[in-house]
A and B are shown apart, each in its own frame.
Chain A
């Protein structure tokens, strides 16, 4: 079986080589049929990679420990669902998933755009092929998931904190996001190679970027929720390098999704857009490098993983190659128009882009800082939470404000009078909300108060946009149907507002307490009384669950019983903390109870946190998905508009 997997990967590598070499030659020589054949090679590579993936899945399900990978990441006790999820639990499998998703995206992008934009696809195929070569080569030569051994009796098992339903969805979604950014990158590079520097590459890849961006966003929120309910420290984001690895390309892609609108509407920012898409792709490669190479521990240890040097080399080659190409094509990328005023929608978009990129780059600096300082001073220095929180506030709050301004302000040039008319209601509502919150005591945190007030401003301006639009068109559904992209975007903005409220609420207005309790004793936190009642033990399939029964009461009345505790896993010989959460929907806050340390005598060190509005973060995920779907939904009107545009360009 392992031989079949290895052979399939060899075939994938060969097909990717064919797509790149023959595709590039066909595009250069203008040979249409040969270019089609190169595209077909990518489709075939999807097939052979799928065979390799099927072999690995089969081995995982059958617990075939003669596969080194299977033995290292599963055990016979592991339930089937988690055995399959071990596919992306380790390095080799993750790489295979990368290649599978990549060839999937590549195949679909080729099929769907071949008719509409043949010259663009002809040059994009070799780019997609080249990226596939890298991953196929890594899988064949450097880090194969099909290494075999004499089968041991039992596998090492999966890390307990990965044995969680989120493990089934979070990593694949992130990969859909990371890898999806390859498509706009390939089309951008393809357009430059073909010297077709109009906005067609943007139009052709708009939905791909949106899909990747949505998957990356949802994947991250799932990861945050996973960390919140499972990792058990009461937080959801720790500015960990691995988390930042996913956030950075998402920020770059967000900037890209905004700035392309300027190019489509006004023919500006062409160079900027190409640079953004290169940045997003390089960051997604960098993210994979970061999580998979051990470079986070120390710059000198990255060679401990066979992947490190290869990845670094590939990232450098991609960066240098694409920047060089942009430089060569600069004369073709001149804007036709200039920015007319600093108070206009274009300018608002521009500020938004600068802030997003600034946030992205400061995070990148924070991630790279330990490695850079080790290179320069010979001593690694790390930046922590205060660094990231500072820049999130400094760049994030103005971004929030811009989200309310951007959609209302006029294109080209906005007059003072129109500004006054537009912003009277939103600004008024924001000021009133701010004053009420101040009276309620929200002044204890200035950034928190600012975030709340800005959120009110943005929500008011979004509602105003919907109301105005509906009045003009006459029907709400028609309004959204006619311009799905725009109103889908507003729904996503509303999701970001919810996210900001959740982050500000749980971050700036939370409270926490730690105390040792014996059964019968209680502690107070944020207006709640937690009483520790008793300790129980239960045996499950692959672990022993120790649980403390804790009564949560408020105002003298018991409102819930929660059971925090620990799970002891046998095969993996590990303990995992199981936090308990009581959600008070009426007050929109969570009470998190953690049994930090369980004494043999039954006394427990409890840690309790109250997190206001934290559930808005998860609600934001649903709204975000809804908005993204509205923007993604096929639009017959748009298709017709594009068809005429393509026809014009072809003529």
Chain B
């Protein structure tokens, strides 16, 4: 009985993962070449971002967390309060002619208070 119920739960789980795939790849700018579908791009904002995400699309460069590879990003939609140069952000989208085009409303900053390891000062 218990085994049967557990099997049922597992079956639901496996059906779901096989039908909807195993999530969105979460990658850094240097890993972008070779990914054609939708990905979550993780990286650090570098340079001075321009635009506001609305009338003028937000444009910025995203760099690897630990590295120098970077990619230009264009994004429309709401921009989080904490977004600024130097922050680590995640944005969903795909690569189009060398520019990463973000999906509306997917730009999030990684909350510094919660995730960041202790500053070693």
A binding-site residues for B, Cβ under 8 Å = 68, 72, 89-92, 143, 149, 159, 161-162, 232-233, 242, 291, 293-294, 296-298, 301, 304-308, 339, 342, 350-351, 354-355, 358, 362, 365, 369-370, 373, 379-384, 386-387, 390-391, 394-395, 516, 566, 574-577, 594, 596-597, 599, 605, 607
Contacts of B88 in A (CB 8 A): 297
Assess the A381–B6 pair: CB atoms within 8 A.
no
Assess the A91–B1 pair: CB atoms within 8 A.
no
Assess the B24–A354 pair: CB atoms within 8 A.
no
Contacts of A294 in B (CB 8 A): 115-117
Per-residue CB contact flags for chain B residues 97-121 toward chain A (1 = under 8 Å, else 0) read 0000000000000111111111101
B36 to chain A, nearest CB (A): 14
The answer, yes or no, to whether B50 is at the interface (CB within 8 Å) is: no
Q: How many residues of B contact A (CB 8 A)?
A: 39
The CA-CA distance from A162 to B82 in the complex, in Å, is 13
The CA-CA distance from A297 to B114 in the complex, in Å, is 11
B45-84 residues at the A interface, CB under 8 angstroms: 52-55, 65, 78-79, 81-82
The answer, yes or no, to whether B23 is at the interface (CB within 8 Å) is: yes
The CA-CA distance from A364 to B31 in the complex, in Å, is 27
Contacts of A351 in B (CB 8 A): 5
Assess the B118–A306 pair: CB atoms within 8 A.
yes
CB-nearest residue of chain B to A339 = B1
Contacts of A91 in B (CB 8 A): 118
Assess the A296–B23 pair: CB atoms within 8 A.
no
Contact of A373 among B22, B52, B114, B121 (CB under 8 A): B22
Assess the B113–A162 pair: CB atoms within 8 A.
yes
The CA-CA distance from A384 to B26 in the complex, in Å, is 11
Contacts of A339 in B (CB 8 A): 1
The answer, yes or no, to whether B96 is at the interface (CB within 8 Å) is: no
Contacts of A599 in B (CB 8 A): 52
Q: Could you list 29 examples of A-B contacts with CB < 8 Å? A: A72-B119, A89-B113, A90-B113, A232-B81, A291-B114, A294-B115, A305-B118, A306-B117, A307-B118, A308-B117, A350-B5, A354-B5, A355-B9, A358-B9, A369-B22, A370-B23, A379-B25, A379-B31, A380-B25, A381-B22, A381-B25, A381-B26, A383-B22, A383-B24, A391-B16, A394-B12, A516-B55, A577-B81, A597-B78
B86 to chain A, nearest CB (A): 11
Given A354-B6, A358-B9, A390-B16, check contact A301 B25 (CB 8 Å).
Answer: no
A337 to chain B, nearest CB (A): 14
Contacts of A362 in B (CB 8 A): 13
Contact of B2 among A291, A350, A369, A370 (CB under 8 A): A350
The CA-CA distance from A576 to B16 in the complex, in Å, is 38
The CA-CA distance from A355 to B5 in the complex, in Å, is 9
CB-nearest residue of chain B to A294 = B117
CB-nearest residue of chain A to B53 = A597
Pick from A143, A233, A382 the residue with the most CB of B within 10 Å: A382
The answer, yes or no, to whether B40 is at the interface (CB within 8 Å) is: yes
Contact of A596 among B23, B78, B82, B117 (CB under 8 A): B78
Contacts of B79 in A (CB 8 A): 596-597
A375 to chain B, nearest CB (A): 14
The CA-CA distance from A291 to B115 in the complex, in Å, is 6
The CA-CA distance from A365 to B1 in the complex, in Å, is 24
Contacts of A233 in B (CB 8 A): 78
The CA-CA distance from A65 to B9 in the complex, in Å, is 54
Contacts of B112 in A (CB 8 A): 159
A213 to chain B, nearest CB (A): 23
Assess the B115–A297 pair: CB atoms within 8 A.
yes
A174 to chain B, nearest CB (A): 13
A28 to chain B, nearest CB (A): 36
Assess the A382–B31 pair: CB atoms within 8 A.
no
The CA-CA distance from A92 to B24 in the complex, in Å, is 34
Assess the A301–B53 pair: CB atoms within 8 A.
no
The CA-CA distance from A291 to B111 in the complex, in Å, is 11
Assess the A607–B40 pair: CB atoms within 8 A.
no
Assess the B26–A354 pair: CB atoms within 8 A.
no
B27 to chain A, nearest CB (A): 6
Contact of B78 among A92, A354, A369, A607 (CB under 8 A): A607
CB-nearest residue of chain B to A381 = B23
Assess the A382–B23 pair: CB atoms within 8 A.
yes
The CA-CA distance from A588 to B117 in the complex, in Å, is 42
Contacts of B25 in A (CB 8 A): 379-381
Per-residue CB contact flags for chain B residues 13-30 toward chain A (1 = under 8 Å, else 0) read 100100010111111000
Given A379-B31, A576-B81, check contact A373 B118 (CB 8 Å).
Answer: no
**Other CB < 8 Å A-B pairs besides A339-B1, A369-B22, 11 of them?**
A293-B117, A297-B65, A358-B9, A362-B13, A370-B26, A382-B23, A382-B40, A395-B9, A516-B54, A577-B81, A597-B79
